Chain A
Amino acid sequence: MDLSIAAFLAQDGVTNGAIYALLALALVLVFTVTRIIWVPSGEFVAYGTLTLAGLQLGKPPGTVGLLIGMALVAALVETIATLRRREARRLPARLALWLGLPLLIAALVWWAAPRGFSLPVQILLTLAAVTALGPLQYRIVYQPIADASVLVLLIVSVAVHFALTGLGLWFFGAEGSRTPAFTGASFQLGELTFSAQSLLVVATSVVLIGALYLFFGRTLHGKALRATAVNRVGARLVGISPSFAGVLTFVLAALLCAFSGVLIGPITTVYYDSGFLVSLKGFVGAIIGGLVSYPLAAAGALLVGLLESFSSFWASAFKEVIVFTLIIPVLLWRSLATHHHEEEE
């Protein structure tokens, strides 16, 4: 291996790592605030790519159907919950939020699909559509069991992953999709070639991470989420609603995943079930950060990207095996670094 190959692999690894980092941050965010190990995050990545691909082809993407379906279920769940609590007066406002807003987004995407808008507009539509699925998922699946143990929430997450993969096949079909590169430009630096696409991906990730940092450090909602992450009961006592925190978390997390999907589209062909492996790579990164530390999670994700890229050069058939086996020494290290706590129930 000479320097130019190494540089190429490193560039590849950092690009992928930057995408995994977004995912790792989403996973840490969801876990710290809601204690949910969000396995189905990968489906949001896949939906992101496939939605953008659909818009590029001028077809209404499967996301439209998915949004309508989930909005109807969420509306049903919300109606039952509201009537049980005898708060019928609040029902119209809640239905506007859980049914009206998603339907509006779905209609907008459906209307815009055949009109061939420019790429930035299509990306915005994609982000809106996929992000809307996040809070809907929280409302339907997780909010009713928000107090369950971490393990129950995890098993539910895996069940959601199962269901969403099947739904992905139904709504998006079995064909894989690739989205065109944002830019074909590249430039030389000495002997090394850098593609503008990679730089764009890395820059986008850095900007998003910076934005998250500001959100958590400087805004009231961000601080509320942090408070919930540190102490759920305490946060509730000072007036932060846990379901509001959950919904907000899922908005942010789904947005991060949708972004990952948009960024990964030009790099690799994405199928309806590709998300799982991507999300697990995010998990390996997040676990390096103990599922709680944002900077460590991002660094871990970068490491996963590099490892993947270099192992695909040396032993491409075993690329995934190597990446997922990495989790074993990582866990060993974490288990030595943290001391044992009594299981929460």
Chain B
Amino acid sequence: MRIAGTRVAAIAFVLALAAVPLAAPPFWVTLGNYIGLYSIVALGIVLLTGVAGQTSFGQAAFVGLGAYTTAYLTTRFGTSPWLTLPAGLLLTLAVALALGFITLRMQGHYLPLATIAWGISIALLFGNLDWLGGHTGVTGIPPLAIGALDLKEERHLYVLIWAITLVALWATHNLLDSRPGRALRALKGGLEMAEAFGVNGARLKIIAFVYAALLACVSGWLYAHLQRFVNPTPFGINQGIEYLFMAVVGGAGSVWGAVLGATLITLLKQVLQDALPALLGRAGNFENVVFGVLMILLLQFARNGVWPWVARLLPRRTSPPVPDAAPLAARDKHARGDGALLEVKAARKVFGGLVAVNDLTFDIREGEILGLIGPNGAGKSTTFALISGALRLSAGDIVFHGESIGSRAPYRIARLGIGRTFQHVRLLPQMSVLDNVALGAYLRGRAGVLRAALRLDRTEERRVRAAAAREIARVGLSAHLHDDAGSLPLGMQRIVEIARALAADPTLLLLDEPAAGLRYLEKQALADLLRALRDEGMTILLVEHDMEFVMGLTDRLIVMDFGEKLAEGAPAQIQRDPRVLEAYLGGV
């Protein structure tokens, strides 16, 4: 029944939209048209900024690309507007790819600065190219027509604008609730983690950037045929900044925030443009002062925008149980002891003058639990990072299944079947435990952005969710399936990390201090789980401080000190090794 509640809210929204052209005065229709156009752009910003964490002030430039492409082609060559849309999209795609490749490689704050710069450049370019009409722009753009019906009247175009807006809303909403959506949500603050599960972060950022640019282009195309003329002003940097404000004011974390923000800013601007000059007795862009102050206050006191407040009033969507589904394809696990699964060959890592790992050599044998121990600063974590690809080798090699992985990016190492956990828990705190674990299964699904946006990924998605739920049940956290991961105590979060690694169906599991922060009984449960996994054929490398835990669990131990291997052998052997005792206790 409650799910129906959100449906009712959505249907009411669409009905209200439909009522505007039928019943409301023309001025409302005009405002509605602009709100629709702005919403489309703001939706792109929700995905790019709110979800993927990449800020752009330059979306207005992409709107301009869409608008100018159709303006130029329809007035100069009489091209049909229905052909100029794909032309504009192609041009935008090319420009966004080029800009994305360059700027998205940078740390977060360079992108927004770059977007300001090219936002200014592109608008200035429109104004200075004579064949684009210079500052006066292009006039006489034909109206859109469907068959014999000219969409000249604003009421008619309203239907098209909002149809496109709703489709964009639906597609973006679908995208966020999918395999690529989980990965996109991980880009903000969880990039390293996501890459450890096979997400190609750089590629995904570009996809988000292109998606937002294409939406902006569609909005520009509609704008040109609504206004029937274009000039450079609405594509300048100030408009670009306003688009971002819309998304932030509305709430950049939700697709509905885009529509809400576009509505609020458009209405507020309308009111202020009427009221301020009368109030102040002067003409000028004084609404900018109000917008600026509003943004500052909002970011000081309510960083998530207005939508979360509205969402609280709406019926809450309850999380449905996860139905069982056919299992995903799984890798062959190896029987115990038939050779080395991973070989570390004279691995070396140098930080400046410090040799953190000094020509270290050891094997991980198939189906064993190998412990890597050593005093603080011995180089355990560095070794772990080298195997998982988080750090690059200075020299030597690491071979997995006969393939060298020494110089591969983490997301490519993940593809070979190596799963890991993090010493400092790296869950996405706002996402449910289920979604966090499902992210682990990223490489076992195939759905891309397009399939996800069109909701053609549901069969696979059910299987992924069922697989994630099974791993959660296995580690004993079924009761917390739909809780936000950030709400769990730290010990449980570590267990969620293990479930996520298991969801990737690895043959080699790398665990970085999994027992830290666990209570005695929890440690025992974890040890039982790891033994059970080993008996199913999983190979496990364990970096751990807790001696009791390691001694009782592992098949073999490697002891490191000062970046070198100090000893190797069965736990009982290691416990008696005089060199190990000296390293730990400083000589007895």
Residues of A within 8 A of B (CB): 37, 39, 141, 144-145, 148, 150-152, 154-156, 158-167, 169-170, 174, 277, 280, 283-284, 287, 291, 317-318, 320-321, 324-325, 327-328, 331-332, 334-335, 338, 340-343, 345
B241 near A162: Cβ-Cβ < 8 Å = yes
Contact of B53 among A148, A162, A165, A343 (CB under 8 A): A343
Given contacts A321-B121, A325-B121, A331-B114, contact A170 B55 (CB under 8 A): no
In the bound complex, CA of A46 to CA of B244 (Å): 25
- Which chain B residues numbered 98 to 118 have a C-beta less than 8 Å away from chain A? 99, 102-103, 105-110, 112-114, 116-118
Given contacts A320-B124, A335-B106, contact A141 B116 (CB under 8 A): no
Binds A, one of B146-154, B286-294, B530-538: B286-294
Given contacts A151-B109, A343-B108, contact A165 B286 (CB under 8 A): no
In the bound complex, CA of A158 to CA of B188 (Å): 21
Query: What A residues does B117 contact at CB under 8 A?
Result: 280, 283-284, 324-325, 327-328
Binds A, one of B169-177, B295-303, B440-448: B295-303
- Top 3 A-B pairs ranked by shortest CB distance? A163-B292, A159-B295, A166-B289
In the bound complex, CA of A340 to CA of B103 (Å): 12
Query: What B residues does A156 contact at CB under 8 A?
Result: 295-296, 299-300
Query: What A residues does B107 contact at CB under 8 A?
Result: 338, 340-341, 343
Given contacts A144-B300, A280-B116, A340-B105, contact A158 B57 (CB under 8 A): yes
Query: What B residues does A335 contact at CB under 8 A?
Result: 102-103, 105-106, 110
Contact with A along B119-162 (1 / 0, CB 8 A): 01100110010000000000000000000000000000000000
Contact of B118 among A150, A163, A283, A327 (CB under 8 A): A327
Q: List 22 A-B contacts (CB under 8 A).
A: A37-B109, A148-B299, A152-B303, A156-B296, A159-B291, A162-B238, A163-B292, A170-B286, A174-B284, A280-B116, A287-B113, A317-B128, A318-B125, A321-B124, A324-B117, A327-B118, A328-B102, A331-B103, A340-B105, A343-B108, A345-B188, A345-B189
Contact of B285 among A154, A166, A283, A338 (CB under 8 A): A166
Query: What A residues does B241 contact at CB under 8 A?
Result: 158, 162
B46 CB, nearest partner CB in chain A, Å:
14
In the bound complex, CA of A170 to CA of B102 (Å): 39
Query: What A residues does B294 contact at CB under 8 A?
Result: 159
In the bound complex, CA of A325 to CA of B191 (Å): 29
Given contacts A155-B55, A155-B295, A163-B292, contact A334 B192 (CB under 8 A): no
Cβ of B245 within 8 Å of any chain A Cβ, yes or no, is yes
Name A's interface SS.
Answer: helix
In the bound complex, CA of A345 to CA of B187 (Å): 12
Nearest residue, chain B, Cβ from A39 = B116
B109 near A162: Cβ-Cβ < 8 Å = no
A325 near B292: Cβ-Cβ < 8 Å = no
B128 near A155: Cβ-Cβ < 8 Å = no
Query: What B residues does A321 contact at CB under 8 A?
Result: 121, 124-125, 128
Cβ of B248 within 8 Å of any chain A Cβ, yes or no, is yes
In the bound complex, CA of A341 to CA of B105 (Å): 10
Interface magnitude class on chain B: 35 or more
Query: What B residues does A165 contact at CB under 8 A?
Result: 285, 288
In the bound complex, CA of A332 to CA of B111 (Å): 11
Starting from the known contacts A158-B244, A159-B296, 17 additional A-B residue pairs (CB-CB under 8 Å) come to A145-B300, A150-B108, A155-B248, A155-B295, A156-B295, A162-B289, A166-B289, A277-B120, A324-B117, A328-B102, A331-B102, A331-B103, A331-B106, A334-B110, A335-B106, A340-B105, A342-B191
Contact of B296 among A163, A166, A343 (CB under 8 A): A163
Nearest residue, chain A, Cβ from B192 = A342
Name B's interface SS.
Answer: helix
Nearest residue, chain A, Cβ from B292 = A163
A159 near B102: Cβ-Cβ < 8 Å = no
Query: What A residues does B121 contact at CB under 8 A?
Result: 320-321, 324-325
A318 near B128: Cβ-Cβ < 8 Å = yes
In the bound complex, CA of A164 to CA of B296 (Å): 12
In the bound complex, CA of A320 to CA of B121 (Å): 7
Nearest residue, chain B, Cβ from A40 = B292
Query: What B residues does A338 contact at CB under 8 A?
Result: 107
Nearest residue, chain B, Cβ from A317 = B128
In the bound complex, CA of A156 to CA of B189 (Å): 20
Given contacts A163-B296, A170-B289, contact A151 B112 (CB under 8 A): yes
Query: What A residues does B103 contact at CB under 8 A?
Result: 328, 331, 335
Query: What A residues does B291 contact at CB under 8 A?
Result: 159, 162-163
In the bound complex, CA of A152 to CA of B287 (Å): 22
Query: What B residues does A342 contact at CB under 8 A?
Result: 191-192
A141 near B296: Cβ-Cβ < 8 Å = yes
Query: What A residues does B125 contact at CB under 8 A?
Result: 318, 321
B286 near A166: Cβ-Cβ < 8 Å = yes
- Which chain B residues numbered 76 to 107 have a C-beta less than 8 Å away from chain A? 99, 102-103, 105-107
Nearest residue, chain A, Cβ from B240 = A158
Q: Which interface residue of A169, A283, A343 has the most chain B CB atoms within 10 A?
A: A343
Nearest residue, chain A, Cβ from B98 = A328
A274 CB, nearest partner CB in chain B, Å:
14
B281 CB, nearest partner CB in chain A, Å:
11
B116 near A162: Cβ-Cβ < 8 Å = no
A260 CB, nearest partner CB in chain B, Å:
19
B118 near A159: Cβ-Cβ < 8 Å = no
In the bound complex, CA of A280 to CA of B124 (Å): 15
- Which chain B residues numbered 42 to 60 have a C-beta less than 8 Å away from chain A? 53, 55, 57
B120 near A320: Cβ-Cβ < 8 Å = yes
B61 CB, nearest partner CB in chain A, Å:
11
Contact of A287 among B55, B108, B110, B124 (CB under 8 A): B110
Given contacts A154-B55, A158-B241, A343-B191, contact A145 B299 (CB under 8 A): yes
In the bound complex, CA of A321 to CA of B61 (Å): 13
B292 near A159: Cβ-Cβ < 8 Å = yes
In the bound complex, CA of A159 to CA of B282 (Å): 22
B286 near A161: Cβ-Cβ < 8 Å = no
Query: What A residues does B286 contact at CB under 8 A?
Result: 166, 169-170
Query: What B residues does A334 contact at CB under 8 A?
Result: 106, 110
In the bound complex, CA of A37 to CA of B55 (Å): 13
Contact of A160 among B99, B245, B296 (CB under 8 A): B296
Query: What B residues does A166 contact at CB under 8 A?
Result: 284-289, 292
Query: What B residues does A163 contact at CB under 8 A?
Result: 288-289, 291-293, 296
Query: What A residues does B289 contact at CB under 8 A?
Result: 162-163, 166-167, 170
- Which chain B residues numbered 269 to 318 have a C-beta less than 8 Å away from chain A? 280, 282, 284-289, 291-296, 299-300, 303
In the bound complex, CA of A58 to CA of B114 (Å): 41
B58 CB, nearest partner CB in chain A, Å:
11
In the bound complex, CA of A340 to CA of B117 (Å): 22
Nearest residue, chain A, Cβ from B119 = A324
In the bound complex, CA of A144 to CA of B296 (Å): 11
B188 near A343: Cβ-Cβ < 8 Å = yes
Nearest residue, chain B, Cβ from A284 = B117
In the bound complex, CA of A162 to CA of B294 (Å): 11
In the bound complex, CA of A155 to CA of B99 (Å): 21
In the bound complex, CA of A279 to CA of B553 (Å): 61
B120 near A324: Cβ-Cβ < 8 Å = yes
A196 CB, nearest partner CB in chain B, Å:
34
In the bound complex, CA of A317 to CA of B130 (Å): 11
A207 CB, nearest partner CB in chain B, Å:
29
- Which chain B residues numbered 199 to 249 have a C-beta less than 8 Å away from chain A? 238, 241, 244-245, 248
